[in-house]
Amino acid sequence: MPQQTGLAVDPGHWIGGRRQRSAARFTDHSPIDGSLVGEFDRGGAEQVDAAVQAAQQAFPGWAKTPRAERARLLHAIADGIEARLDELAAAETLDNGALLRSHLRGVIPRAAHNFRFFADWLLDGLHRDDLDTRGHRNRISWDPAGVCALITPWNAPLMLATWKIAPALAAGNTVVHKPAEWSPVTASLLADITAEAGLPPGVFNVVQGLGAEAGDALTRHPGVRRISFTGSVPTARTIAANAAATLTPVSLELGGKSPLLVFADADLDLAVELAVGQYDNAGQVCLSAVRLLVAEEIHDEFLHRFLAKAGQLKQGDPRLPETDLGPQIHRRQFDRIDGFVQRALAEGATALLGGGPNTDLGGLYYRPTLLTGAAPGSEILTEEVFGPVLTLQRFRTEEEAVALANNTRFGLAAAVVTGDPERAERVTHELVAGTVWVNCFFVRDLRAPFGGSRESGIGREGGDWSFDFFCDVKNTVFAP
Ligand code: NAD
């Protein structure tokens, strides 16, 4: 029997401002050591229907609540997150195995910031009445759309959920959230925090459960007016098909296979730092620039410095302050990652670093890996691995670098390291990606659009873009 972790979290759904139970359960284990985090309620069509109905009932009152009052409540939720920072960070680390120090310093505070940012953004902006048509005044307004279904993954559970919950609520919508079944804990704690903050019953609801059950029922429900999903491409196809039946607008934030382009004129120390940084969260980051594309002239020196730096990474228990890399989330994900690596090696690639499980640590710890010599077009260069696995390719010309960078079905992000501003201008225009970083990585501004091109997604969220999606935008024309 796995050991109990003793975490205090309610395993039930949160519907209409109270806990509701269902008979079926699913178990949640910690990736750190396999201990049992909890047995959570496994919702289905019945619980989803109850949650959507609760959200529908709460909608008119919440939509009419003055913006300032909505903003006050969202700030109170942010206060609650900040007050429980240590508890939330420890719970999230136990649940998904990401570094405790990252949760404490960045990820959980960002969840609180999401609420503050979207509360204030709506207060400050989002009305236009300056369009004049032959003396007629156009008033453009962002009206709440109704019940929003929000479905999120496990790699940054609370942060990614609040990135959707906050704008949806700020805009006057009500929400049904379905968190990932591998990381259900902080969604349940957030429900407690919203209640303590005084959010009216039914405005925010959580249905726990499996994607193919609770998630599927939620995306088919005719009472839902928006579906915002972050997760994998295969799931997005199913969700988009479900949404087609009810003509519900979808926002899809999906996977990636982002490139890091290092030109001969790059600051090599910076390039190496950014490259090694791609092992962050044990490679379980959608934006990760996992394909290292390096100019021929500096390739060997880059590799030498990369291996020296990456060799210092410390893998182990994510609760320890000295750890750089924790475990993968789940056995299924671990085996999938190893499958990619072993197939690439069998097809002729070479592991310059790692190349398999960390047998010293056992469990779900996978060695940070760098592969080279993979065949052009092979799966390791084109499919999302979602683990600590980078590939290295060399290029001779700028054109070749851009062609290699764009040679996937994805288009989520890209990073360019160069000392030449004109090159940066040229190359960034050529890259297919929702976000491109030049001589930096992961600098995120919530006012900026975020999303992916090609199979990395549909739509953009962030700033006004979030409200464009979560609202019915209306134009009213007044005669002179
Ligand atoms: P996933 O698609 O397996 O699951 C994501 C969520 O969808 C979970 O809550 C799951 O329960 C639910 N789900 C699964 N099947 C469903 C169905 N049939 N109907 C409705 N819901 C369903 O993805 P994952 O493995 O949890 O997450 C990893 C993926 O997420 C990677 O591809 C990663 O790149 C992507 N991701 C993207 C972003 C982004 O912002 N673009 C951010 C983080 C993660």
Ligand 1 atom closest to 209 (CA) = 11
Q: Do 156 and 386 touch, CB atoms closer than 8 A?
A: no
What 3-state class would DSSP assign to 337?
helix
Q: Which residues' Cβ are closer than 6 Å to ligand 1?
A: 151-155, 160, 178, 180-181, 211-212, 215-216, 219, 230-232, 235, 238-239, 253-256, 286, 384, 386, 412, 452, 457
Q: CA-CA distance, 195 to 197, in Å (whole number)?
A: 5
- Return the closest-CA partner of residue 199 out of 208, 190, 188: 190
Q: CA-CA distance, 473 to 139, in Å (whole number)?
A: 10
Q: Which residue among 152, 216, 230 is best mutated to probe the pocket of ligand 1, counting the most ligand atoms within 8 A of its Cβ?
A: 230
β 136-144/127-133 pair status: antiparallel
CA angle (137, 140, 143) in 5-degree steps: 145
Query: Does the predicted model carry a pTM greater than 0.95?
Result: yes
Amino acid (one-letter) located at 87: E
Q: CA-CA distance, 213 to 85, in Å (whole number)?
A: 31
Q: Do 62 and 395 touch, CB atoms closer than 8 A?
A: no
Q: CA-CA distance, 21 to 41, in Å (whole number)?
A: 6
* Cβ-Cβ contacts under 8 Å for 48 (sequence gap 6 or more): 176, 207, 214, 217, 218, 221
Element (H, E) at 269: helix 268-276
Q: Beta-carbon neighbour count of residue 53 at 10 Å?
A: 18
CA distances for 263 relative to 308, 417, 427, angstroms: 20, 6, 11
Q: Do 10 and 193 touch, CB atoms closer than 8 A?
A: no
| Catalytic-residue membership of 196 | no
Structure token pair of residue 268: 């090599």
- Strand extents, DSSP E, 318-459: 350-353, 369-372, 389-395, 413-417, 435-438, 457-458
Ordered structural domains, the chain, with CATH? 13-255+456-475 (3.40.605.10), 259-438 (3.40.309.10)
HSE at residue 442, side-chain half, CA atoms within 13 A, is 15
Q: CA-CA distance, 470 to 467, in Å (whole number)?
A: 5
Element (H, E) at 88: helix 85-96
What 3-state class would DSSP assign to 132?
strand
Q: Which residue among 155, 178, 458 is best mutated to probe the pocket of ligand 1, counting the most ligand atoms within 8 A of its Cβ?
A: 155
Give pLDDT, residue 128: 78
Q: Give the burial string for 272-307 (b: 16+ CB within 10 Å, else e).
A: bebbbbbbbbbbbbbbbbbbbbbbeebbeebbebbe
Instruction: Determine the distance separating the centroid of ligand 1 and the alpha carbon of 154, expressed in angstroms.
Output: 8
196: exposed, middle or buried (Cβ count in 10 Å: 0-12, 13-18, 19+): middle
Q: List per-residue pLDDT tens for the chain, 480 residues long.
A: 445 666 789 999 999 999 999 999 999 999 999 999 999 999 999 999 999 999 999 999 999 999 999 999 999 999 999 999 999 999 999 999 999 999 999 999 999 999 999 999 877 667 777 899 999 999 999 999 999 999 999 999 999 999 999 999 999 999 999 999 999 999 999 999 999 999 999 999 999 999 999 999 999 999 999 999 999 999 999 999 999 999 999 999 999 999 999 999 999 999 999 999 999 999 999 999 999 999 999 999 999 999 999 999 999 999 999 999 999 999 999 999 999 999 999 999 999 999 999 999 999 999 999 999 999 999 999 999 999 999 999 999 999 999 999 999 999 999 999 999 999 999 999 999 999 999 999 999 999 999 999 999 999 999 999 999 999 999 999 999
Amino acid (one-letter) located at 118: F
The active-site residue, picked from 253, 384, 398, 461, is 253
